[in-house]
């Protein structure tokens, strides 16, 4: 059974904050341009912004708090009423403060706040519907289909490389492959505990170390993070796989791959580094996988996550920032967050 739709905008989401700020200021500029007035444009804009900007900020923070205390579980019209009333109340209070306690214009300010809040909430609700589960599913399946064939062939080739020489080692590898396939065939929107995703990466590295031997070395530098921190399933493993494929596989020398995880405030910082291969396929191959990851991050986190790639001192470095997701699924006992689309 699908969960109830959350209609109160997430005022803590960077994407929504940016869209709200741009939209409110664009409307303000258009209104002032449509009414030339006697005074200068700059003077009127600053005077209006002194009221509009604080109301916008207070409304965004209030929406964020309402979602955090569970108001998003209310009925649809209750959520809309709450979302619309917040800018109206903020406008009323700010209007009286600007007027130094006078009642002149406060009613109009409250009405405009109500209209503005309703318009912004309705726009974000329509945008949210544009990222409906059906559309999300099609996009995720397209992204996931890029992972499965490449991952399948690599894993089977790793097992075939040792199955005749060391059956016991091949059996252990097949157990790890089974765990990896279970994750690959799952829903890549699902949020899982960070420890589980790291265990999946370690299982993959064990497979590749059996095949590549001593020249593949991985340094795991895992710092203190929230004990219930979650990340999208199968997010880190493709990055580690890229580091192996375009590092150790293309080098006859020892390849040191660094995987570092830190929590910085309310962000998870994930850093992966590998030596730059000399073959020209390094950039092309890595970019395909990175575009896949960027697409998943955009669909799940909107502007809340980022991924940066740099080449420094002969190494290919990836730095990824994710919001700390510490929510566990309410159904089925699995770890899953609100990954139903941007701005939800």
Q: Is the pLDDT of residue 337 over 90?
A: no
Please write down the HEC assignment for all residues of 108-171.
Answer: HHHHHHHHHHHHHHHHHHHHHHHCCHHHHHHHHHHHHHHHHHHHHHHHHHHHHCCCCCCHHHHH
Same domain, 215 and 103: no
Q: Does the residue 6 lie in any domain?
A: no
Q: Is the pLDDT of residue 292 over 60?
A: yes
Same domain, 234 and 279: yes
pLDDT at position 332:
32
pLDDT at position 43:
81
CA distances from residue 154 to 180, 186, 212, 257, 298 in whole angstroms, order as listed: 12, 19, 12, 18, 27
pLDDT at position 138:
55
pLDDT at position 317:
92
Q: Does the residue 244 lie in any domain?
A: yes
Same domain, 42 and 153: no
Contacts of 321 (CB under 8 A, 6+ apart): 264, 267, 268, 269, 270, 305, 306, 307
Same domain, 178 and 292: yes
Same domain, 262 and 245: yes
Same domain, 96 and 236: no
> Which residue segment(s) compose the domain that 253 sits in?
133-323
Q: Which tens digit of pLDDT belongs to each residue from 53-96? A: 889 999 999 998 888 888 777 888 888 898 999 999 988 888 77
Last residue within a domain, chosen from 76, 104, 130: 130
Q: Which tens digit of pLDDT belongs to each residue from 37-57? A: 657 778 888 888 888 888 999
Same domain, 256 and 144: yes
Q: Does the residue 7 lie in any domain?
A: no
* pLDDT level of residue 272 (50, 70, 90 thresholds): very high
Percent of the chain with pLDDT over 70: 78
Q: Does the residue 297 lie in any domain?
A: yes
Same domain, 314 and 174: yes
Q: Is the pLDDT of residue 320 over 90?
A: yes
pLDDT at position 238:
84
pLDDT at position 1:
36
Q: Is the pLDDT of residue 186 over 80?
A: no
* pLDDT level of residue 279 (50, 70, 90 thresholds): low
pLDDT at position 341:
39
Nearest 5°: the CA angle 193, 197, 200 is 140
Q: Is the pLDDT of residue 261 over 90?
A: yes
Same domain, 179 and 308: yes
Percent of the chain with pLDDT over 90: 14
Average pLDDT, the chain: 78
Between the ranges 100-109, 148-157, 245-254, 283-292, where is the mean pLDDT highest? 245-254
Query: Which CATH number covers residue 194?
Result: 3.30.565.10
Give the separation between CA 187 and CA 178, rounded to whole angstroms.
16
pLDDT at position 143:
59
pLDDT at position 335:
38
Q: Which tens digit of pLDDT belongs to each residue from 141-184? A: 655 655 556 667 767 777 787 787 878 878 887 888 787 777 76
* Residue 187 CB burial class (10 angstroms; 0-12, 13-18, ≥19): middle
Nearest 5°: the CA angle 193, 10, 46 is 140
Q: Does the residue 54 lie in any domain?
A: yes
Q: Is the pLDDT of residue 283 over 50?
A: no
Q: In the chain, how many domains are there?
A: 2
* pLDDT level of residue 322 (50, 70, 90 thresholds): very high
Q: Does the residue 218 lie in any domain?
A: yes
Q: Is the pLDDT of residue 278 over 70?
A: no
Same domain, 84 and 29: yes
Tokens of 136: 């999300």
Q: Does the residue 233 lie in any domain?
A: yes
Between the ranges 100-114, 159-173, 194-208, 280-294, where is the mean pLDDT highest? 194-208
Tokens of 210: 């059996």
DSSP 8-state class, residue 244: I
Last residue within a domain, chosen from 84, 111, 130: 130
Last residue within a domain, chosen from 130, 155, 189: 130
Same domain, 311 and 184: yes
Looking up tokens 């990851």, which residue turns up?
293
Tokens of 110: 């409250």
Q: Does the residue 335 lie in any domain?
A: no
Q: Is the pTM of this model over 0.75?
A: no
Between the ranges 260-269, 274-283, 335-344, where is the mean pLDDT highest? 260-269
Give the separation between CA 130 and CA 128, rounded to whole angstroms.
5
Same domain, 123 and 222: no
Q: Which tens digit of pLDDT belongs to each residue from 207-240? A: 888 777 788 889 999 998 988 888 988 888 888 8
């Amino acid at each position: 059974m699908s969960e109830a739709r959350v209609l109160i905008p997430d005022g803590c989401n960077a994407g929504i904050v940016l869209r709200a700020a741009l939209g409110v200021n664009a409307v303000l500029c258009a209104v002032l341009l449509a009414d030339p007035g006697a005074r200068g444009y700059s003077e009127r804009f600053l005077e209006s912004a002194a009221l509009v900007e604080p109301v916008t900020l207070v409304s965004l923070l209030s929406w964020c708090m309402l979602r955090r205390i569970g108001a998003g579980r209310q009925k649809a019209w209750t959520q809309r009423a709450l979302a619309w009333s917040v800018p109206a109340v903020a406008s009323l209070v700010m209007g009286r403060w600007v007027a130094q306690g006078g009642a002149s214009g406060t009613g109009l300010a409250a009405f405009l706040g109500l209209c503005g809040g309703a318009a912004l909430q309705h726009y974000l609700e329509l945008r949210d519907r544009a990222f409906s589960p059906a559309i999300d599913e099609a996009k995720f399946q397209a992204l996931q289909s890029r992972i499965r064939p490449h991952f399948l062939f690599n894993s089977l080739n790793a097992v075939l490389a040792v199955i005749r020489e060391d059956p016991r080692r091949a059996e252990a590898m097949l157990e790890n492959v089974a765990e990896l396939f279970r994750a690959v065939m799952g829903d890549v929107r699902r949020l899982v505990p960070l420890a589980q995703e790291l265990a999946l990466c370690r299982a993959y590295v064990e497979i590749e170390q059996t095949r590549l031997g001593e020249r593949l070395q991985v340094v795991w530098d895992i710092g203190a993070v929230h004990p219930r921190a979650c990340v999208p399933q199968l997010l880190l493993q493709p990055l580690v796989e890229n580091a192996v494929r375009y590092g150790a596989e293309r080098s006859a020398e020892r390849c040191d791959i660094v995987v570092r995880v830190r929590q910085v405030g309310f962000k998870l910082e994930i850093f992966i580094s590998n030596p730059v291969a000399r073959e020209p396929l390094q950039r092309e191959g890595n970019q395909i996988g990175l575009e896949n990851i960027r697409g998943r991050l955009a669909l799940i986190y909107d502007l809340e996550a980022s991924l940066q790639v740099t080449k420094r001192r002969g190494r290919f470095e990836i730095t990824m920032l994710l919001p700390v997701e510490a929510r566990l699924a309410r159904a089925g006992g699995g770890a899953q967050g609100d990954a139903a689309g941007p701005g939800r």
